[in-house]
Each structure stands twice: as C-alpha cells, then as structure tokens.
C-alpha cells in the first residue's frame, strides 16, 4: 500500500521535519513577500497589483476596491495586505495617479477606505513598466490565470522608489533616490564614466551622507535633519522632516524631551497640511540657536538610517551596493530595448513583405488569373506561379500563408487601390526598418537616447528635495538645558536629588562632575540623582566641554 504524500516517512525525525518546514517557510517569505526582485524592483504583491491594473486599464480611474478584488486572482492573501501595498505605491507618486484621500506621508494619516479612492496609471508607468511581447509569463497560484514572472521595467525603478521589508533571518532597506540623478548615473555608466548616487527623500530635510558608502550593507549610514528656520527670538519653524518620521512622531519626541527637562519650549503649534509647518514657540530668555541644536540632539529632528540593500537575484537573496543595482538595472533596460527592437524589426519586415506582395498582386492583376481555377489548390498554385517573376523583388520567400492572405483581399480594397499611397507606405516601412536596424547596431547610444527622452519628458516634475550637506554631531551634554541643581550634603552625598544639601550650581542630567577629594585625588563622574562624592571635598564642580566649570 502506498503511503499518502502528506504523511512523513517513519524514518524521518521530528527535528528533520521541522527543519524542512522552517526552510520552506523562510524561502517563501523571502521570495514571495518581503524582498523585491532586482529585475523590476517589485515585491510579488506590487507586481500583481500592477498586472491587475493593466488588465483593467482603459485610461480612466478605477476604484481601488475593484483593483484589490482583481489582484486577489493572483495574490493568495487577504484584501487588506493588497490595499496597503497599493496605497504605498500610490503615495510614492511615480507609477500611480491617485484620486481621493490617499493619506499623508507627512502626518501619518491613513488613506480612506478602498471603496472611496481611485487609481490609474501615470504616463510614466505606461512608458517604462509594460511590454507584453517581451514579458515572461507564468500561471497564477490556482492555474486559472497567467501573471508576469517579472515586469520588463526600463528604468532603475527600485532605486527611485526605495523598498523595505523584513523576512526570516534578513531584512531589506533600500533608500529612495532622485529621478534625474538616476538617469544621469545610468547614462554615465553606459558611457563608461564614473558616477555617484546619494539618496533623496520625499519628505525633504538636510542629509549628511559622508558615511553612506554606496549603501553598502552593514557600513553605510546617512543622517537626516529636519529643516528648522529661526523666525524670531521666540519662534522656530520646522518646514521639512526626516525620512521615516511623521509630524506626530516629531512633535511627541519634542514634547517628551521638554518634559524630561532637556529642551525649553513654551508650546508647539502644528499647521501641517500639504507641507510641513510646525511652530516651536520658545520661552522668554531662551537661545534660539541653542534650542535648535537641542532639537537635533534630543528629538526626532535628526535621525540616522543604515541602508541594507537585499534583493532577489535569480531566485536567491543577495546583498548589493547601490551602484551595482543601478548597473544591473541599466543593463536590464538595454536588454529589454534590444528585445523590443528585434521584435519591431521582425514586424516591420513582415509588414513590408505583405505590402509589397499586395502591390504586385493588385498592380499586375493577378487576381484575374484565378477566375478559371476550379479547386482551392489550383487557386493557390495559379497565384504562386504568377508571383514567381516578381520574387526577386521580395526579401523573403513566398509562403502558403502569403497566398491565402492575398485571396482574402476584398474587391472594394482592390478597386480603390492607390499605387502612389502604396509606394509611400512601403518607403515609410523601409525608413522604419533602416532606423530600427540602426538602433540595434548602436544599442548603447539608443539606450542613452531612451534615458535622455525620459528625463526630458518627466524630469522637471522630480527636482531634488533633500539638501546634501555635511554637519557634525551635536554634543548632547553641551546643549542640554541646565534645569537641575547639583547639591552636596554633610555626609558626602551629591546629586541633583540631594535636596537637603548645599547647592553647588545649576546642571543638566547629562553633565559630568569633577571632584577633588580631601586626599587630593581627582575623579570625574557622570551626574546622578544621588552618588557618594566624599566628605568635605577640596573641589567639586559641574563640567561641560568648552565651558568653564562652576565650583565650590
């Protein structure tokens, strides 16, 4: 009796079973859910969403709920995960033209329900994402439909949009880059010239990419600051925020720092709508520049991001630097353009062959010679025989399909045949064939022209938003507000919590304390609520870098 397939062999241990199951699960999460494929820059759910939108596309907006429903034919998961992924694509503003309330990446407000919002492709998406004739297809999970293995994207879309995902044992975090700078880098690579890529974030801000290191795994890092303007001695205005931070997170971090006594503020006013506008009102006597530095030190006004570019290459996860991803995508674009041009050349040659055959067939009235033919084979044989004197003028042999196609020409078309227009059409086809062949012979130049055309058509809509700068780290102890007092009592205990002792001077919770005890030993300790400094010290003071210590 044959053992059912779902029952594990008796010889297989439980440990071995779970090891296999875990590996299968890990592979599934990595390949099918969390990590984007390098070929087109999409995770499976994103690719299926775009495929479903392509099926529904008629140039008009479609309800997101309808798109989600159609995507479920290809994606074996819940509608919520599909809707969230679609909103994420729409908020990037590159492929999907949105209508309705799609949420706000600045404030973190969610999008409206799927039945209330609509989407369609942008012109850019139609230009670069789809090319059915060069797309590799596979059956959907239930075998009822076909879906693309990967979309033939002719642009480094993965780097333009960025990506983030967590899988079993690894994660991926690819930062977004500027549209025009990606095109410039692709052109430079095709010309054999050096190039450098730095991130550009939709939320703007000021970036220090000194340690970016081409997005190399484990070593690269960027620091991003909010743009804070000094409006007056009592007012700071935040107009741009770091990537990955919402206005709610930013304000909460400032309030928390103020409650802990690290920053002095009077109140915060949030007027954010389409653009960030957060007003930080300062109390009387506060130093705006010092407060500005403290905001960078103690709140989410400055964040540090470490990229981790993990992508799927040939069905395996692989860590790559940003420049290598761009080279791969540029080479892929060049290959897709080659395939498209080869298909176009084949179609043009076929069109030229049919137009030339039709012209010969009608101009020489070969259609009259078949009147006496009694059988179908005689008809085809007569046409073939009459065409042979003209065969040398053709670029391909005459096939049986060609003969059948000639018999299907309608009398109305024959009666209205215009030899001049036919010659014009053939000459146009010859020019197109010559140009297409030239494109193939000079494929690198053709690819460069492709990128230049994209930049000319769409580049003006994508200026750099994040300012590239270089700034040092803020010394937290130096900018912390001195809202505590250092005390020391008769027992030798010191700290800002020793309220019954003698006051030494004002301090913050991040200061250091310099002590010289009665034996002449010097030591420096971090200030605490209460610590033992020694009875009757010769000297005790709060010290900050770049300042003169106070003492007793």
Residues labelled catalytic? 116
> Dihedral through CA 467, CA 469, CA 471, CA 476, nearest 10?
10
**Torsion region of 454: left, alpha or beta (phi above 0 gives left; psi -120 to 50 gives alpha):** alpha
CA 119 from centre of chain: 19
C-alpha to C-alpha distance for 80 and 139, rounded to whole angstroms: 23
Which uninterrupted H or E stretch holds 516?
strand 512-516
With tokens 């044959």, the residue in question is 2
Coil vs helix vs strand at 545: coil
**Within a 13 Å sphere around the CA of 479, how many CA atoms are in the beta-carbon half?**
20
Provide the b/e sequence for 460-481 (b: ≥16 CB within 10 Å).
eebeeebeeeeeeebeebbbbb
With tokens 């030229």, the residue in question is 352
Beta strands in 210-352 (DSSP E): 222-225, 227-232, 235-240, 267-270, 278-281, 302-305, 310-313, 316-319
| Strands laid side by side in the 302-305 sheet | 302-305, 222-225, 206-208, 467-469
C-alpha to C-alpha distance for 297 and 244, rounded to whole angstroms: 17
With tokens 């049986």, the residue in question is 400
C-alpha to C-alpha distance for 350 and 344, rounded to whole angstroms: 10
């Amino acid at each position: 009796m044959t053992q059912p397939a779902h029952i594990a062999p008796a010889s297989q241990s439980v440990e071995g079973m779970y090891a296999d199951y875990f590996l299968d699960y890990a592979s599934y999460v990595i390949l099918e859910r969390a990590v984007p494929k390098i070929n087109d820059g999409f995770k499976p759910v994103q690719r299926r969403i775009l495929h479903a939108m392509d099926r529904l596309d008629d140039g008009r907006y479609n309800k997101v709920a309808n798109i989600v429903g159609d995507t479920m034919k290809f994606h074996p998961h819940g509608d919520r995960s599909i809707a969230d992924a679609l909103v994420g694509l729409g908020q990037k503003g590159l492929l999907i033209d949105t209508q309705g309330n799609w949420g706000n990446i600045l404030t973190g407000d969610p999008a409206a329900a799927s039945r209330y919002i609509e989407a369609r492709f942008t012109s850019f998406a139609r230009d670069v994402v789809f090319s059915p004739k060069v797309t590799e297809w596979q059956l959907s999970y239930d075998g009822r439909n076909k879906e693309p293995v990967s979309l033939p994207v002719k642009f480094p879309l993965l780097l333009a949009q960025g990506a983030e995902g967590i899988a079993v044992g690894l994660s991926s975090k690819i930062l977004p880059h500027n549209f025009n700078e990606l095109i410039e880098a692709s052109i430079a690579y095709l010309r054999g010239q050096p190039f450098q890529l730095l991130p550009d974030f939709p939320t703007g801000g000021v970036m220090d990419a000194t340690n970016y290191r081409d997005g190399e795994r484990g070593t690269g890092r960027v620091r991003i600051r909010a743009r804070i303007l000094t409006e007056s001695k009592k007012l700071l205005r935040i107009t741009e925020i770091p990537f990955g931070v919402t206005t709610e997170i930013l304000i909460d971090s400032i309030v928390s720092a103020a409650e802990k006594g690290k920053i002095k503020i009077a109140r915060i006013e949030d007027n954010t709508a389409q653009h960030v506008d957060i007003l930080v009102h300062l109390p009387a006597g506060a130093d705006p520049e010092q407060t500005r530095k403290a905001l960078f030190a103690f709140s989410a006004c400055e964040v540090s991001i470490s990229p981790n570019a993990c992508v799927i290459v040939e069905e395996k996860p692989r860590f790559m630097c940003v420049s290598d991803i761009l080279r791969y995508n540029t080479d892929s674009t060049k290959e897709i353009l080659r395939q498209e041009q080869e298909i176009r050349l084949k179609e043009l040659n076929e069109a030229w062959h049919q137009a030339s055959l039709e012209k010969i067939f009608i101009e020489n009235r070969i259609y009259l010679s078949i009147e006496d033919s009694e059988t179908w084979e005689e008809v085809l044989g007569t046409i073939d025989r009459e065409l042979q004197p003209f065969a040398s003028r053709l670029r391909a042999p005459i096939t049986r399909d060609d003969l059948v196609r000639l018999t299907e020409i309608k009398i109305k078309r024959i009666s209205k045949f215009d030899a001049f227009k036919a010659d014009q059409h053939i000459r146009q086809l010859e020019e197109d064939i010559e140009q297409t062949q030239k494109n193939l012979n000079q494929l690198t130049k053709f690819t460069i022209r492709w990128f230049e055309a994209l930049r000319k058509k769409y580049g003006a809509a994508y200026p750099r938003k994040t300012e590239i700068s270089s700034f040092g780290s803020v010394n937290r102890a130096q900018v912390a507000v001195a809202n505590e007092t250092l005390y020391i009592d008769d027992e030798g205990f010191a700290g800002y919590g020793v309220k019954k002792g003698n006051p030494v001077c004002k301090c913050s919770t991040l200061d250091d304390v310099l002590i010289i005890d009665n034996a002449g030993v010097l030591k420096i300790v971090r200030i605490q609520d209460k610590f033992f400094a020694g009875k009757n010290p010769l000297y005790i003071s709060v010290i900050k870098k770049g300042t003169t210590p106070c003492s007793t």
